[in-house]
Amino acid sequence: MFGFAIVLLGASLFGTLGPLSHFIYAGGMQPIPFVAWRALLGSLTVGVFVAWRIHRGSERLIRPWELRPRERATLGIAALCGAGLNIGMFVAFDRISIALALLVFYTYPAMVAAVDIAAGREALDRSKWLALVLALGGMVAVVASQLDPAAGIGFDGIGVALALSAAVCQTIFVTVSRDGYRRVPADQATTVVIGTAFVVCLTIALLTGAGGALTYPLTQPSLWPLLLFAGLFASALPSLCFLIGIRVIGGMRAGVVMLWEPVVGVALAALLLGEKLQPIQLLGGAAILTAALILQRSTPVGASAATVEGSADGLDAADAEALAMHVPGGP
């Protein structure tokens, strides 16, 4: 239950990004500088948390040279995919409607399921099929109802391609993060992933002549509450929750539960931006939660999620339990 709850929390926090980006863009920030500031504040937040845990003896700093080549490679791939995901989605938001971008992006749970099945990690039984169909159908119901042909934003092939590339990046991230660098505690891995997004965005901004836009928040104090919220509650905390969830319940289950994100985004848009909440959106949200419940109940009785994952990774129960404690929140 812990794994599902923490992914649901992460999805809810990520769901604030739609309305949050709306207010930040209205305040004059551009997408790449916004992603850079969000990543900087997020990585600093998790970095401080890591330092605190190391200081109190709750975990040990894992240095790059202590990792096997495969672990370093998969962590590097995950970090680059995290940066690509953020850039692709936030630029797509600027080119096409948010609803269309989300529809394209949230094809990734199906991609993750296909990869897991092909790799022999998951057997797509009847309950998982039902959960996947319910979740994807619920997401389409929630997001498609927001598509407005009269909104003045036409079809843009580049925008759609960017959203699709973000979905591919997310699929790769979920796949390699399940067990590719398990010896790196989730908080330290999250610091690397978010910090890489900052470095990549900073480099892009400087190379494209947008370096001056990076300093914009320094002249606009009114943006700082939004940026701080974006760094802590829409970057650091949900990213950490998502990575822990992937390790505990697996990529396919985490991907399906993450479909709760657009439900929260639509609800917040209705509350904060005055967008009307339609009955079909409520039904879509209920379908996604039902899918999460089906997946949670499909976990073998008497086996913790960590143990199930450990068996899939070739670990025994004791090793799996140790890995489960190797994330924030453990002793």
Domain count, the chain: 1
User: What's the rounded Cα separation, in Å, for the pair 289 and 319?
Assistant: 31
pLDDT at 313: 36
Average pLDDT over residues 108-124: 79
**Residue 299 pLDDT more than 80?**
no
- The answer to whether position 330 is within a domain reads no
- The answer to whether position 95 is within a domain reads yes
CB neighbours of 267 closer than 8 A, spacing ≥ 6? 15, 277, 281, 285
Q: What is the pTM of this model?
A: 0.79
11 against 156, higher pLDDT: 11
- The answer to whether position 222 is within a domain reads yes
**Average pLDDT of the residues of the chain:** 81
- The answer to whether position 329 is within a domain reads no
Residues 68-104 have pLDDT tens digits of 999 999 999 999 999 999 999 888 877 777 777 777 7
User: Both tokens of residue 96?
Assistant: 């096409």
Closest CA to 300 of 320, 285, 286, 326: 320
Confidence of residue 155 (pLDDT cuts 50, 70, 90): low
pLDDT at 203: 93
pLDDT at 113: 80
Average pLDDT over residues 24-48: 92
- The answer to whether position 67 is within a domain reads yes
8 Å CB contact between 101 and 161: no
Average pLDDT over residues 9-22: 88
Residues 303-328 have pLDDT tens digits of 434 433 333 333 333 333 334 334 33
CB neighbours of 245 closer than 8 A, spacing ≥ 6? 3, 4, 6, 7, 10, 254, 257
- The answer to whether position 260 is within a domain reads yes
pLDDT at 147: 62
Domain that holds residue 7: 2-324
Identify the three-state secondary structure at position 146: coil
Confidence of residue 191 (pLDDT cuts 50, 70, 90): very high
- The answer to whether position 34 is within a domain reads yes
**Residue 253 pLDDT more than 90?**
no
Average pLDDT over residues 279-308: 63
Average pLDDT over residues 36-62: 94
Number of neighbours of residue 219 by Cβ within 10 angstroms: 8
**Residue 276 pLDDT more than 60?**
yes
Closest CA to 89 of 155, 25, 169: 169
* Phi, psi torsion values for 68, nearest 5 degrees: -70, 155
CB neighbours of 284 closer than 8 A, spacing ≥ 6? 137, 138, 139, 140, 141, 142, 145, 263
Number of neighbours of residue 222 by Cβ within 10 angstroms: 9
User: What's the rounded Cα separation, in Å, for the pair 64 and 69?
Assistant: 9
Residues 257-272 have pLDDT tens digits of 888 888 888 788 778 8
Confidence of residue 137 (pLDDT cuts 50, 70, 90): confident
User: What's the rounded Cα separation, in Å, for the pair 86 and 82?
Assistant: 6
